[in-house]
């Protein structure tokens, strides 16, 4: 009787060739997209809600999604450093474009890690218990309005910066698809196969 064994390589899209990210990286990428949509939708909806109960629900949802986003970002970085399959930059991208792409990518990772932390810090400095994941986090410090205001400003400005980087990320992907006609966009789409090539560091 043949036994079934599984290795981490079973989860890599080797059949698609190096011109494609591995399935875990793709899944984490789109999970991040869904979480970001939920985060921005919940906080923008909160601004127009007058009912206190609904507002409290949206704020709890926003905090909970923020924590999930932070966990997802940590997992993404860990996977990227360990087992991720990273396709090469296309030949159409010069050194300056590659540098800009890396800088944008690192900026996105930094914000995905920092943004949930500034949001939680804002909640803690209010000096009150707050709800998250259906539970309640107790107050751990006295109320500090100056710190609350500081973290609120950091959280808000970083959110706008995150939106700018996301917009640039999307525009770059569309540009590569429509104008350059290479496979940068397809390499991250879960339903599209890409041609083979050499992996990049």
pTM comes to 0.82
Contact (Cβ atoms closer than 8 angstroms) between residue 51 and residue 64 = no
Using a 10 angstrom Cβ sphere, with 0-12 exposed, 13-18 middle and 19 or more buried, the burial of residue 25 is buried
User: Angle at the Cα of 180 (from 179 to 186), degrees rounded to 5?
Assistant: 100
Asked if the structure places residue 75 within a domain, the reply is yes
**pLDDT per residue as tens, the chain (201 positions):** 434 333 434 333 333 344 688 999 999 999 999 999 999 999 999 988 888 899 999 999 999 999 999 999 999 999 999 988 888 888 888 899 889 989 999 999 999 999 999 999 999 999 999 999 989 999 999 999 999 999 999 999 999 999 999 999 999 989 888 888 877 888 888 875 544 444 343
CATH of the domain at 18: 1.20.950.20
Residue 193 inside a domain? The answer is: no
Look up the domain containing 31 and give its range.
11-180
Q: What stretches of 83-195 show up as alpha helix (H) in DSSP?
A: 95-124, 145-175
Q: How many residues does the chain have?
A: 201
Tokens 């400005």, located at residue:
157
- Is 199 among the domain residues? no
Q: Would 136 be classed as within a structural domain?
A: yes
* Angle value at C-alpha 180, between 176 and 181, nearest 5 degrees: 80
- Sign of CA pseudo-dihedral 28, 74, 99, 87: negative
197 occurs within a structural domain:
no
Q: Is 5 inside any structural domain?
A: no
Q: Return d(Cα 180, Cα 169) in angstroms, integer.
A: 15
Q: Is residue 2 part of a domain?
A: no
What is the tally of structural domains in the chain? 1
* Residue 192 resides in a domain: no
């Amino acid at each position: 009787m043949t036994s079934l064994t599984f290795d981490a390589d079973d989860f890599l899209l080797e059949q698609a060739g190096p011109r494609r990210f591995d399935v875990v990286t793709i899944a984490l990428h789109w999970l991040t997209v869904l979480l970001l949509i939920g985060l921005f939708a919940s906080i923008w909806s909160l601004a127009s809600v007058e009912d206190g109960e609904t507002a409290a629900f949206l704020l709890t949802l926003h905090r909970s999604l923020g924590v999930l986003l932070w966990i997802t970002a940590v997992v993404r970085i860990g996977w990227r450093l360990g087992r991720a399959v990273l396709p090469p930059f296309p030949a159409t991208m010069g050194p300056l474009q590659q540098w800009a792409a890396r800088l944008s990518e690192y900026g996105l990772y930094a914000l995905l890690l920092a943004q949930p932390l500034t949001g939680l810090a804002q909640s803690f400095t209010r000096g009150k218990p707050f709800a998250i994941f259906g539970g309640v986090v107790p107050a751990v410090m006295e109320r500090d309005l100056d710190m609350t205001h500081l973290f609120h400003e950091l959280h808000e400005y970083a959110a706008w910066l995150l939106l700018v980087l996301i917009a640039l990320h999307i525009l770059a992907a569309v540009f590569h698809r429509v104008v350059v006609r290479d496979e940068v966009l397809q390499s991250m789409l879960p339903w599209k196969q890409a041609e083979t090539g050499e992996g990049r560091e």
